[in-house]
Structure 1
Amino acid sequence: MSEICEVSRDGHVGIVRMKRIDKHNAFNRELDAAVSAGLGELDADADVHVAILTGTGNAFSAGADMNEAVQAIEGKGRTEGMAGVYGAVATFRKPLIACVNGIAYGGGALVSIMCDVRVASDNARFRFPGAAYGLVVGGSQLPRLIGPAYAKELLFTARVVHAEEALRIGLVNAVVPHAEVFDAAMEMARLMAANSPATLVATKQVVDRATQVDDGQRAEAEWNRGLRTSAEHHELFKKAAERVAKRGGAG
């Protein structure tokens, strides 16, 4: 356990809670490593059948830490972005529920849709702002959930999606009052955990294979390799980071 990430268990349910509250649970190197390690710990624990990933306060996650990313762009540091948590979520063998307790922007939104199920607070908001920053974020995952037309709209406009719309278009499985969101996620997790753990793992693999997004993920990664080094991306990202800093909040 660390100050910015808490790992706990409740029966057969494992919980990873992001606690970088002052930064809206934005992923810097430390949080990326801590969440990745927490998910790895729960995946290796035979007594954990289902896991929940959630945030603290009014944010699930604001995505990548923009200050750290800007420093890397300017050659003043290095960042692996959110590669660790993306990999940990993508390879997690058991059912993984995203308990979206508030904003889920950028990489935070992507992490939420990479999970198997999403239970959202009624004040949850989603945004896939890659087009505003000069990157592709969620292009390989969103169409699988909400279809290509809605996916393209959200990606092209980079607009905010509120909880009720997210439910209507299939971005989340349930919306509940903010004070009840973790309890609702736990209730769903316990229902899952009461079943055969081996069958849960097998079912997840079968469904994932039936809805493969490998080609899309490869295409997204290939485009982003070029986009990340472009002058346009660097300029757009720096301007976005300045706007976020002035607001003192998430992008």
Structure 2
Amino acid sequence: MTDSNILIHTHYTKDKNIIILTLNRPMQLNAINFQLLEELRQGLDEISKIPDLGALVIRSNHLKAFCTGVDVEYIRSLTNKMASDFFSKLAETLEKIIHFPCPTIASIDGYAFGAGADIAVACDIRVGNESASFRFPGPQFGLLLGTQRLMSEVGPSVVRHLALTNQVVTAEKALHYGLLHEIAENESAFEGALKYTEMTANISERTYRLLKEISDGVNRLEPNQTTPSEYARKSVEQGDFAARFSTYISQITSNKKRRV
């Protein structure tokens, strides 16, 4: 179904299945609205039930952008309660990727901004091309999404810098910070990601599960500690989210006009 926001196919089958999940909303640079989020959630659930999973690769069908974050017009149409429900579901979806039952690899072309950056960071391995770039604007309008995962991947000092400045992080800086594991200089990010699926193919499901338990255990939530989904919900529900979001969008639009 080419009109679907999510495309799923098996790239390679031998002893294990390598599954490719492609974000397929090219005209909007894969900006996430309700439909894309629901299809992504359903797609992840369907893939998780496939036997003999070797790896899941998440990629974009557009060389300019992996995912530019949430759909601005869609978010502007939501009440505070609707927005908190949406971002809570989005946080739960990131957790699905983090705890997926097989190695996950993000193939990052171009922009990985906001929730798009969070999707990439949720994956075990991240391969980008030379034009790959990251940005984490959520705190600028009072949203905490994917922050705990980002903290465990790059550390508190880098997280504070990224969250407080809203700077665009180039591929080279992303590699330095740990947002990327490799820059595919002489090939596409997707080709680079596929090489990693070959490396992970021989890892048993039990070994992978134990590895995840060890690595996740470093940052495991204590009893009664706030979950990522609750952080997202509470950050949206506090005050007038719609006003904060609109103010932020107006500011960046104004800044773009001044630079032209």
| TM-score band, normalised by shorter chain | 0.7 to 0.9
Identity %, equivalent residues: 25
- What are the Cα deviations for residues 8-54 of structure 1, in whole angstroms up to 9, with x where unaligned? 11222111000101111111111111112222222111132211111
User: Is the aligned partner of 1:181 residue 2:189?
Assistant: yes
Residues 238/25 of structure 1: CA separation in 2 closer, same or farther (3 Å cut)? same
Tell me the SS of whatever aligns to 1:218. coil
Question: Is contact 2:79–2:242 with CA below 8 Å preserved after alignment?
Answer: yes
SS at match of 2:86: coil
Displacement, 1:214?
Answer: 6.3
Instruction: Give the equivalent residue in structure 1 for 2:7.
Output: 6
Deviation at 1:236, TM superposition (A): 2.6
> Which residue identity lines up with residue 5 of structure 2 in the other structure?
I
Does 220-229 or 115-124 show the bigger shift? 220-229
Does structure 2 conserve the Cα–Cα contact (< 8 Å) formed by 1:33 and 1:85? no
Contact kept? 1:128, 1:137, Cα under 8 Å: no
Q: Which amino acid in the other structure matches residue 28 of structure 2? A: K
Worse overlay, 59-68 or 216-225? 216-225
Aligned counterparts of 1:46 and 1:140: Cα–Cα separation in 2: 30
Deviation of residue 87 (structure 1)?
Answer: 4.0
Deviation, 1:174, is 0.5
CA distance in 1, matches of 2:203, 2:212: 13
Say whether 1:33 aligns with 2:38. yes
Q: Which position in structure 1 is the counterpart of 2:70? A: 64
Instruction: Give TM-score, length-normalised by structure 1.
Output: 0.86
Equivalent residues of 1:72, 1:78 under 8 A apart: no
Shift of residue 123 of structure 1? 0.6
Aligned-pair RMSD on alpha carbons?
2.8
Q: Report the counterpart of residue 85 of structure 1 in structure 2.
A: 93
Match among 118, 127, 136 for residue 128 of structure 1: 136
Name the counterpart of 2:60: 55
- 1:160 maps to amino acid: V
Question: For residues 214 and 155 of structure 1, do their structure 2 counterparts lie closer, same or farther at Cα, with a shift above 3 Å needed?
Answer: farther
Q: Structure 2 length normalisation: TM-score? A: 0.83
Residue pair 2:111, 2:133 contacting (<8 A) in 1 also = yes
Count of residue pairs the alignment pairs up: 247
Say if 2:84 and 2:234, in contact at 8 Å, map to a contact too.
no
Gaps of 5+ in 2: none
Tell me, yes or no, if the aligned pair for 1:141 and 1:213 is still in contact at 8 Å. no
Whole-Å separation in 1 of the counterparts to 2:226 and 2:161:
21
| Aligned twin of 1:96 | 104
CA contact (8 A) 2:113 2:134 kept: yes
Q: What runs of 5+ residues in structure 1 fail to find an aligned partner?
A: none
